[in-house]
Amino acid sequence: MILHELIAYETLRLVWWLLLGVLLIGFAVTDGFDLGTNMLLPFAGRNDLERRVIINSVGPVWEGNQVWLILGGGAIFAAWPQLYAVSFSGFYLAMFAVLVPLILRPVAIKFRSKHEDAGWRARWDWTLFVTGLVPSLIFGVAMGNVLQGVPFRLAPDMHIFYEGSFFGLLNPFALLCGLVSLAMLVMHGSAWLQLKAEGAVAQRARSYGSAAALLTLVLYALAGLVLWFWIDGYRVTGALPTGGPSNPLLKTAAHQPGAWFANYASQAWLWAVPGMGLAGALLAFLAMRMRRAGIALLASALGIAGIILSVGVSMFPFILPSSFDPRASLTVWDSSSSHLTLFVMLVVTAIFIPLIVAYTSWVYKVLWGKVDADAIRDERGHAY
């Protein structure tokens, strides 16, 4: 037997679907508090020193946190090439709108304190605000469009035709999902600032974070109700071999009201996943009010994980449904790389992901503790 055949093709596909979820959650939980603190910068910091405290809370770690985004993009490219092709062509302008702020963020962090001029620093502060706001909003908008279906079709030779437009992505439900993302990441950034800052900065972060946690709770519940009553889901109407070839056109699929809740109806225990999203936001709110910063950060991370996982659980086995031609929708079982590719990538992942987690954990351990405002004022430690 060939080595890669020791693990069934359908098992590898399921494992890589789970890994994709892990990488998305890893990015949202780590780089999420970077984006959240950027959005809070002009509000939680009222003077130059306070804003430098906020920037220095994420300055040593944001680059490592962004590795999860790179890993996620690489996983999609290697394990789900059709998903990569459709999303990177259909969402090209949206991704460009995300990448520009992510490129500007390190520029703003590095250059902000190069001059003493108040106007210079204020412009970079608002630049950092935008670099947090825009990606956070667009990530949520993208998720809302995926739940509604993306207007693409596949030719018999698998050539992709995207039939939508950038402004078509900005529909009411997608914008609602964008607001969920904004509130969720502001909550997470606030919890991080309460853990890393002291005094007035931590107090303001607590106030903003409490409001954001309640908004996350309300907006996420509202999005769920809208999805249930007004947004059609998708279902496979014919046979779908789990170990078959990667050709989405071999199946039949159709729109169906309430289809995104079919998995919960068949497996009641799955309701624990959206429940985790709601419970995490509620616990984060309570922990912030009780001034338990560590618990608030863990709770907000739990809420983020539950919210992201609930999308995957609702859509399974769909990864990217097509609103233009449901038959072309990409699923876990018909849009992956080959059996051998998935196996080799799994071996590589099993080696390097633990190394990345171990190194990241070590970095956080070394850099743990409150940001010292006096050290920043005295320019000790090369502070930003």
Does 1.20.1630.10 match the CATH number of domain 3-377?
yes
Cα distances (angstroms) measured from residue 282 to each of 187, 313, 331: 11, 21, 33
Inform me whether the pLDDT recorded for 378 exceeds 80: no
Instruction: Note the pLDDT tens digit of each residue in 336-357.
Output: 999 999 999 999 999 988 998 8
CB-based burial of residue 167 (10 Å sphere; 0-12 exposed, 13-18 middle, 19+ buried)? exposed
> In whole numbers, what is the pLDDT of the chain averaged over residues?
93
Ordered DSSP codes for 302-318: HHHHHHHHHHHHHHTTE
Q: Which pLDDT score, from 0 to 100, does residue 270 have?
A: 97
Instruction: Note the pLDDT tens digit of each residue in 171-195.
Output: 999 999 999 999 999 999 999 999 9
Q: Which pLDDT score, from 0 to 100, does residue 4 have?
A: 66
Instruction: Note the pLDDT tens digit of each residue in 41-53.
Output: 999 999 999 999 9
pTM, 2 dp: 0.95
Domain ranges in the chain are 3-377
Q: Tell me how far apart the alpha carbons of residues 326 and 256 are, in angstroms, rounded to a whole number.
A: 11
Ordered DSSP codes for 154-204: E-TT--EEE---TGGG--HHHHHHHHHHHHHHHHHHHHHHHHH--HHHHHH
